Every structure is written in structure tokens, then in C-alpha cells.
Structure 1
Amino acid sequence: MTERLTCDVVVVGAGMVGAACAWYAARAGLDVVLVDRGPVAGGTTGTGEGNLLVSDKAPGPELELALLSLALWAELAEELGPAVEYEAKGGVVVASAPEGLAALSDFAAGQRAAGVSAVEVAADGLHELEPRLAQGLAGGVLYPQDCQVMPTLAAAHLVRASGVRLLTGRTVTKVPRTPRGAVRGVRTDRGTIHAGAVVNAAGTWGGELAERAGVRLPVLPRRGFVLVTEPLPRTVRHKVYAADYVADVASDSAALQTSPVVEGTAGGPVLIGASRERVGFDRSFSLPAVRALAAGATRLFPFLERVRAMRAYLGFRPYLPDHLPAIGADPRAPGLFHACGHEGAGIGLATGTGQLIARLLSGGVPELDLAPFRPERFEEEAR
């Protein structure tokens, strides 16, 4: 059966970013349809750890977006309640050697100047924060602003609370345009949705959706694995990771990179990451990646050697070449707005992204300068 619907805005992608765009657009009084070829949180969101971080972001536009998003997440957590498992637990970044600690301290100093709370911790103070940490670490930095949510629950509750029309199991096959080039909704395999605005929140498929509108956005998938342990008493209090994680996030390498990231959850299991590699949408299991994750985690927390891993899962982060998402109106296709390419930070940056997109959709002025995130910037660089 096919159908024809009409609305103000079609948001394509029911992950965390799409859910936030739909939520804030509906709050702005717009009639919104949220469409996805799969279920809510069926892509990157459903395979994420739910991190809301400032600790891994250097001063600049992404950090500004993260600070805005953190404030909005606190408001959302209050409104949605405990079901989303929001935890303002803080993060601890540790260095194993003095030279690494010096680099971490310089990085934290720049963040403090940009508005981040970053507290340096001497080696003998680390075990007050995390009693089960390995001995012999050089020191670290505590980031009290780092938080966590359960991403699948957060996206689902946000969609439900928004009141928007949700259409799952529908693949967008085309973004039709008028003779003058403006978008006029989306065509799906189950009918057409007419709208004056389309938001591309399709995550790793954001480049494909852009292509269906006749524009280019070079989104690539970046694969990552997560190990999940058996449920434990709360033995890891913060998100804890090694200082080289920041460099891995910013790397352009396609090769496998791993750096230890360990955090407890409200449900009991410990989550262990993080790996990154560009292998397309290859979903095959990588024993080298998972072994590296386990080895890195036990270096940070030796007690994990005696803990069973229940499972490992993988996901694909939507990667753009300059490590900044595409957020805003696309001048190449009037009425098309992009909200994708957040790589591994999409959960944390979703709220700010959603509010910025909603401001544009409703004719308001965004809180941040969107020039660094403009979707057409890659064509400008190519020229």
C-alpha cells in the first residue's frame, strides 16, 4: 500500500540525532514526520555506548557544540526521567608516562580556557577516584562534566515524548526537487511524504541520502567494537580512558586503532572500547580488534582479567574527513538540511544539533556559528 502524507518537515533517520531534530522541531511548533528504513535506534545509536563527553574535544566548534548539548541533555534528562539512565558520573583520563601526562595537562589547560571543567589529578590521587585502577600511572585529569545515557532508550523515549508521526520500515528512494531546485519532501518505497523541508539525519547513510537529493556529502563508515562484561557491582565509577584515545579520535588513518576505554553502567556490565577502522560496511568479527580491547582494558583495570566477557558487538560511526559533522541548510538544494557525520560523538552532540536545526527550520537564529559545519564545505575545498 502506498500513501501520500503532508507535513512541514521530514526527518530521515530515527537514531539519536534524528530523534533530537524531531523533538526540537516539534517543540518549535512544526508538523514533523520521522522516517527510517529500520526501527528507532536501529543503526549507530543502537550500537553506541551513550557517551556525552567534553573530555575528548579540543577547543573549537565541536567543543562549543558539546557544551551546548550537555546543558540541553541535563534538561532532557529532567523531563524524560530515569528511564534514559542519564548519569552525570564524570570522566577520568589517565597517562601512563610523564611525557604523556605533560601533553594531557597542556590539552586540559586549553579546554579550561574554553569553558571546560578539567581538574588535574596526581598519581597518588587516582585511586581515590578509581580504587581498582592499575598501579604506576603517572597521573590524569578529572572531567566532572562527562555524562552517559542509555542511547537506545534515550532515542525511543525522545521520539515517543515528541509526539511526531513515526514511520519505520520505509526506505527513502528519492528526494524530489522542484524545477527551481528546492526539495519537496521524500519518496519512499511505501509512498510519498510532501514537505517543504527535509532533514538528513541518516547517520552513516547520510552520504547516500544526500546523493538522492542530488548533492554530495562524503560520509564514510568507521567500524568500532565494544566488549560487554558480565554484570558486576559498581567497580568502575567513571568513564576511564587512556590519553591516546584523543589522538585516535582525531586520526585520519583507515587502519585499525585501539585505545582503552572502560566504563560501568547502571545495569551492571562494564563496557570496553574503543576501536576504529575504515573497512566499509564489513560486519565480520575481528579477533585482533577484540583482543586489543581486552588487553588495553586489563592494563587499566587488572581485575578485569578475572571477569567474563558476555558478548562483543560492532557499529559504524558516520565519519567526515575533517571530523566535524555537517549541520545546517544546504545551499545546493534549498529546503535540505543536514544533521549527520558526528562520528562517535553523535549521542552527546544530538541535543545541540537538534536545537540548532530547529532554529533554522523555524526561521530563528542559531546559538552557535554554523559556518564550520556547513555541508557544502567539502566541495569548496575540492575546488
Structure 2
Amino acid sequence: MSQTHSPDVVIIGAGVVGAACAYYASRSGLSVAVVDRGSVAGGTTGAGEGNLLVSDKEAGPELALALLSARLWRELAAALPAQTEYEPKGGLVVAPDETTLGALRAFADGQRACGVLAAEVGPDELRELEPHLAPGRAGGFHYPQDAQVQPAQAAARLLAASGAARHLGEEVTEVLLRGGRAVGVRTSRRTLLAPAVINAAGTWGGHIASLAGTTLPVMPRRGFVLVTEPLPRVVRHKVYAADYIADVASDSAALQSSAVVEGTPAGPVLIGATRERVGFDRGPSTEALRRLAGQAARLFPVLAGVRVLRSYHGFRPYLPDHLPAIGPDPRVPGLLHACGHEGAGIGLAPATGALIAAVLTGAAPPLPLAPFRPERFEEPGEPPPASPSAAPPASPPRHHTPEEHP
């Protein structure tokens, strides 16, 4: 084992959330070390689509986090290299019938009160925004604040810009405790001492918490994505069916799927999204892929004859109330959590990093930390917090068994 190092902060996890924590901590004047058992963006981040969404979030703490992140991503897009592929393409949520459109209208009214830009569009305007969209839709809503990045590049560029020391391919085997306080970590190669340890381990956040002698009920939620052959820009926005919002808010463990379709600067079209809780099962699911392909073709008939070059999948870090854990853990002083963002980690990463940096430096946080308290799942006499998306827009009844993109 190599010699001991002593930065101000040790971050466990080199995904986009860990990279954002490193970036904002270093901008606050702190020395940072990042450790990961794999590579940069080697977990959930690298299996994501790069969604930066406000459109799928109900008024509440997560939407506030998303709006702050949307502003910070715009700033980062100007500061980071172009390889991040930041694209403010906007989102388009499509309703199949008047009932669903009415539910979307009520949903958007609540969002607008929080600062979201949402414009209702009729059937003709839908086709103007997306000429290849299937006819017969009742209407939808356009969200100009939705955007996208290339997730692995975004994480890599954030981490590089942070100047943090990187220790990749090193698994954390121990969170070091002294008098009940976290004072560093031990990896397979070195000891890193620091007055602050940040758990940004994504789906493995619960494991890291247990190494520190505490708990965090993070569970993996698997999702698949299809990648087509390169095409002209047949899909201009991020386009999804309204039932995707209900899937995001669902607590079911069974397979759910709803069409989310978007083009990319490189040409391929990305097609999601499925959700299911199957542990860390990495096996293929022909049923999940079949559903995605069929739903995408119904939304964009032009895709029916397009070749799918590959599929990939990842595991979203799911917490029971659909809110991430962000901030200090009072059960283990010195330990902070920044995980459990489920499918929204790429979009919420900058705001998470800014909140963590504020805690580390004693500055006023840009948003209240209370909704994201890591200890909230163990508070005696209190039920688990209700989901902030407990009342998603109505969608037609499903005829298959129900269960961000990875």
C-alpha cells in the first residue's frame, strides 16, 4: 500500500455527481481526491442518455433542484469543452387523448408557478415541432428548458476541470472512523485521510454507507436504451409520451416502459425508457427491448424500418421517496451523501455539487437541504416521506404488467 495522502475532501465515485461535487468543492478552494473502483463514468453515468429535464418533475424539492441545475448546466456549457455536447433542444411531452392532455395541463400549471417554461401545443403545432411524429395526438406541452449532454464526456470534463487527484481502479475497502467520525478512506492501494468523506457512489451508495456504519436504502433500478443507425435529424427534441412521467414516479418493481425518443448530434436516435427492480441482473431482456421498439415506432412511424445497432442498460440509484440523499449524515459526522438520484443524476449533478460545496465551506446553501436529509428514512415515529411525484398526469390504463433512462 502506498503512502497516506491528506486532501480536504475525499469523494467516493467518479460518475457525474461525484465529478460535480469535485468541481464545486475545488472552486470553493478545497483540495479534493476522487476514488472509484472503476473508470470515470464507468457506472450509471456511462449508461445514461444525458437527460437534463425539468419537464418530468412535479412542483417540489426535486423540481427546485432541477431548475438550479438547468441554470448551472448553461454556465458549465460555456466553461467546459465542446465535447460535453450540451444541446438545449427542449422537450416535447405528447398526449394521446383529451383526458391525458387535461392532466398534463394541470401538471404544467404547478410547474409554471415554480419557474418552469411550459407551452401547450395543439396537434398542428406538434407536427410543426416534430414533422415525423405520428398523427392523431390530442396535443402536448413544449418545455424549452429541457436539454441534453453527452454524459460520459460531461463527467470527464467536469472532473478534469476540478483539478482533483484521481484514484481510479481502486475500490474503497474501509471508511475510516475515529471516535465515530469519518476521517478518510482506505482503498486497495492507499489511505486517504480527510475531514470530509462524500458518498457519491450511485447505486452502491448503500454499500458505502454500511462501510461507515450507517444505512441508506439505495436500490438499483434497471433500464434499457436502444441505439439506432445514424440518421438525419428526424427527431428534433426530446419527445416522450405522457405516461413516462407516471413511470418515473412509480414504486413498482416490475417492468415498465414508455417511449422516450431523441436524436443526437452524432446521428443515432436513442430510444428509452424501461424501469424495473431486478437487483444487479445484467442479463438481456427481449421483452424490454421489444416494448421500446414498438412504442417508439408508434410515436415516430419513420423509425419502424430503421436498424437498431445496439442496446445498453444501466442501474439507476433508487431511493424509496424518489428524492436523492444530499448533505451531511448526522449519524456519522464527517460523512456526506450525494447519491440516490435515480434516473435524474446527470441533470441534477451541478446543483448537488453546489449544495455539497456550501455544506463543506459553511456557506448558505442555494436551496434548503431538509428534503434531502440522508437520515430521513430512519427517523422514529415518522413514515417515509411521500414521493414528490405522487400525483403524476393520468395516462390510459396499461394492459401489460407495470414496474431516467439509466
TM-score using structure 1 length? 0.99
Equivalent residue letter for 2:234: T
Rounded Cα–Cα distance in structure 2 between residues aligned with 1:27 and 1:161: 10
Rounded Cα–Cα distance in structure 1 between residues aligned with 2:168 and 2:3: 14
Offset at 1:2?
Answer: 2.9
Rounded Cα–Cα distance in structure 1 between residues aligned with 2:242 and 2:117: 17
* Runs of 4+ that moved beyond 2 A: none
Match of 2:85 in 1: 85
Rounded Cα–Cα distance in structure 2 between residues aligned with 1:184 and 1:263: 44
What is the 5 A alignment of 1:76-115?
A: 76-115=76-115
Q: For residues 309 and 273 of structure 1, do their structure 2 counterparts lie closer, same or farther at Cα, with a shift above 3 Å needed?
A: same
TM-score using structure 2 length? 0.93
Equivalent residue letter for 2:11: V
Matched, 1:165 2:165: yes
Equivalent residue letter for 2:281: D
Match of 1:15 in 2: 15
Matched, 1:2 2:9: no
Rounded Cα–Cα distance in structure 2 between residues aligned with 1:191 and 1:155: 24
SS of residue matched to 2:75: helix
Equivalent residue letter for 2:260: V
Encode CA deviations 1:21-70: one digit per residue, 9 max, x unaligned: 00000000001001100000000000000000000000000000000001
Match of 2:140 in 1: 140
Rounded Cα–Cα distance in structure 1 between residues aligned with 2:378 and 2:41: 30
Match of 1:40 in 2: 40
Rounded Cα–Cα distance in structure 1 between residues aligned with 2:312 and 2:38: 18
Rounded Cα–Cα distance in structure 1 between residues aligned with 2:185 and 2:51: 32
Rounded Cα–Cα distance in structure 1 between residues aligned with 2:197 and 2:372: 17
Encode CA deviations 1:97-116: one digit per residue, 9 max, x unaligned: 11111111111111111110
SS of residue matched to 2:288: helix
Encode CA deviations 1:336-380: one digit per residue, 9 max, x unaligned: 000000000000000000010001001111011110100000001
What is the 5 A alignment of 1:70-219?
A: 70-179=70-179, 181-219=180-218
Offset at 1:381?
Answer: 5.7
Rounded Cα–Cα distance in structure 1 between residues aligned with 2:163 and 2:178: 29
Match of 2:327 in 1: 328
Matched, 1:365 2:374: no
Match of 1:251 in 2: 250
Equivalent residue letter for 1:324: L
What is the 5 A alignment of 1:215-364?
A: 215-364=214-363
Rounded Cα–Cα distance in structure 2 between residues aligned with 1:189 and 1:280: 25
Rounded Cα–Cα distance in structure 2 between residues aligned with 1:239 and 1:296: 15
Q: Is the 8 A contact 2:81 2:157 kept in 1?
A: no
Q: Is the 8 A contact 2:4 2:192 kept in 1?
A: yes
Encode CA deviations 1:118-145: one digit per residue, 9 max, x unaligned: 0000112100000000010010000000
Encode CA deviations 1:227-273: one digit per residue, 9 max, x unaligned: 00000111100000000000000000000000000000011000000
Equivalent residue letter for 1:345: A
What value does the CA root-mean-square deviation take over the aligned residues?
Answer: 0.8
Rounded Cα–Cα distance in structure 2 between residues aligned with 1:176 and 1:185: 5
SS of residue matched to 2:42: coil
Rounded Cα–Cα distance in structure 2 between residues aligned with 1:107 and 1:257: 21
Rounded Cα–Cα distance in structure 2 between residues aligned with 1:264 and 1:124: 21
Equivalent residue letter for 2:12: V
Provide structure 1 residue ranges, at least 5 long, that are not aligned to the other structure.
none
Rounded Cα–Cα distance in structure 2 between residues aligned with 1:330 and 1:212: 13
Provide structure 2 residue ranges, at least 5 long, that are not aligned to the other structure.
383-406
Equivalent residue letter for 1:151: P
Equivalent residue letter for 2:150: M
What is the 5 A alignment of 1:40-59?
A: 40-59=40-59
Q: How many residues align?
A: 382
Rounded Cα–Cα distance in structure 1 between residues aligned with 2:381 and 2:334: 24
Rounded Cα–Cα distance in structure 2 between residues aligned with 1:309 and 1:350: 30
Equivalent residue letter for 1:45: T
Equivalent residue letter for 1:84: T
Rounded Cα–Cα distance in structure 1 between residues aligned with 2:292 and 2:381: 37
Rounded Cα–Cα distance in structure 2 between residues aligned with 1:104 and 1:294: 25
Rounded Cα–Cα distance in structure 2 between residues aligned with 1:62 and 1:183: 28
**Higher deviation after alignment, 320-329 or 3-12:** 3-12
Rounded Cα–Cα distance in structure 2 between residues aligned with 1:204 and 1:260: 24
Rounded Cα–Cα distance in structure 2 between residues aligned with 1:42 and 1:267: 21
Match of 1:24 in 2: 24
Rounded Cα–Cα distance in structure 2 between residues aligned with 1:363 and 1:105: 41
Equivalent residue letter for 2:100: G
Rounded Cα–Cα distance in structure 1 between residues aligned with 2:173 and 2:157: 28
Equivalent residue letter for 1:316: F
Offset at 1:158?
Answer: 1.0
